[in-house]
């Protein structure tokens, strides 16, 4: 890994790394906050934060103030990018397709299949990389995310329960197979056959695989995407049917922005710290 920046923050360090990914075939950047304990060599719990459409690692690290909360809990905070990038990486004029819109799945259709392998990148390559290079406790890794990243957090946690030990989400896309954002992307990335889509839909996964722990979701009631794209009640119904303990908090007046995320990020990080202790 090449460290391309570092800044002292709340007694720890906010770093950005770059590495050559064998999974995506591109250079990938990601951000890591190391609390004081990690800098002193102590193994620490870690939380992955998956960002939403159009974002990079920078959105949450500059707008969410995760460093404050991670320092409080002695937690390593890892923020990957949302897609592969580079001149040879396929793209689309729509903000919901292509660069910035990897959807944390492995694309199987051309031209996306060459580089868009974000499921393998997050769950396997990047997770292994940070465990090998940083003082991450591999038995205490949580995952959370916002919007598209909330979709990624929920689906990857249920598909890889031995790798992610706690899961939460902010305004996640919980039923992408049934909403416009997901349907458009799934058809392009995975093909018209909808059977493979089930492996990337949180509502279908919780019914098929369940989840041994509990789940926390925060959702703003003034979110402009609530009715058409997010539909948290679908996941609530699926969790109830699957017997999974879900806390869905509808937060009055909050929209889809990072003003919403930053308002409740402290709650989520404390929630993960309790479960990763």
Please say whether the beta carbons of 170 and 264 come within 8 A. Answer: yes
Residue entry with tokens 């819109």:
101
**Residue 106 CA: distances (Å) to CA of 110, 138, 190:** 12, 23, 8
From the list 9, 51, 147, 166, the catalytic residue is: 147
The one catalytic residue in 115, 165, 256, 268 is: 256
**Rg of the Cα trace of the chain?**
17
CA distance 68 to 114: 38
**Is 223 a residue of the active site?**
yes
∠ at Cα 158 (157, 164), nearest 5°?
A: 30
Strands 76-80, 44-50: pairing is: parallel
User: What DSSP designation does 146 have?
Assistant: B
Is 17 in contact with 1 (CB distance < 8 Å)?
yes
Asked about 9 being catalytic, the answer comes back as no
Neighbours of 277 (CB within 10 A): 9
Give catalytic status of residue 146 as yes or no: no
Q: Which of 51, 81, 223, 272 is catalytic?
A: 223
**So which residues are the catalytic ones?**
147, 223, 256
């Amino acid at each position: 890994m090449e460290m391309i920046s570092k800044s002292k923050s709340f007694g720890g360090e906010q770093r950005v790394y770059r590495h050559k990914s064998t999974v995506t075939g591109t250079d990938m950047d990601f951000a890591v906050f190391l609390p004081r304990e990690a800098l002193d060599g102590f193994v620490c719990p870690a939380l992955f934060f998956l960002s939403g459409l159009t974002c990079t690692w920078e959105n949450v690290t500059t707008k969410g103030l995760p460093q404050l909360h991670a320092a409080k809990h002695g937690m390593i905070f890892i923020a990957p990018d949302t897609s592969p990038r580079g001149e040879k990486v396929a793209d689309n004029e729509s903000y919901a397709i292509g660069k910035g819109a990897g959807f944390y799945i492995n694309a199987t259709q051309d031209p996306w299949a060459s580089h868009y392998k974000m499921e393998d990148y997050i769950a396997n390559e990047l997770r292994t990389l940070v465990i090998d290079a940083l003082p991450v406790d591999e038995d205490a890794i949580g995952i959370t995310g916002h919007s598209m990243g909330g979709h990624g957090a929920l689906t990857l946690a249920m598909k890889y329960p031995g790798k992610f030990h706690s899961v939460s989400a902010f305004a996640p896309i919980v039923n992408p197979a049934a909403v416009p954002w997901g349907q458009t992307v799934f058809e392009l990335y995975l093909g018209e056959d909808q059977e493979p889509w089930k492996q990337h839909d949180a509502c279908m996964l919780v019914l098929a695989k369940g989840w041994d722990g509990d789940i926390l979701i925060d959702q703003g009631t003034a979110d402009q995407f609530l009715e058409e794209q997010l539909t948290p009640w679908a996941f609530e119904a699926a969790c109830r049917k699957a017997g999974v303990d879900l806390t869905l908090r509808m937060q009055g007046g909050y929209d889809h922005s990072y003003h919403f995320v930053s308002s409740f990020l402290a709650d989520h990080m404390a929630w993960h710290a309790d479960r990763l202790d």
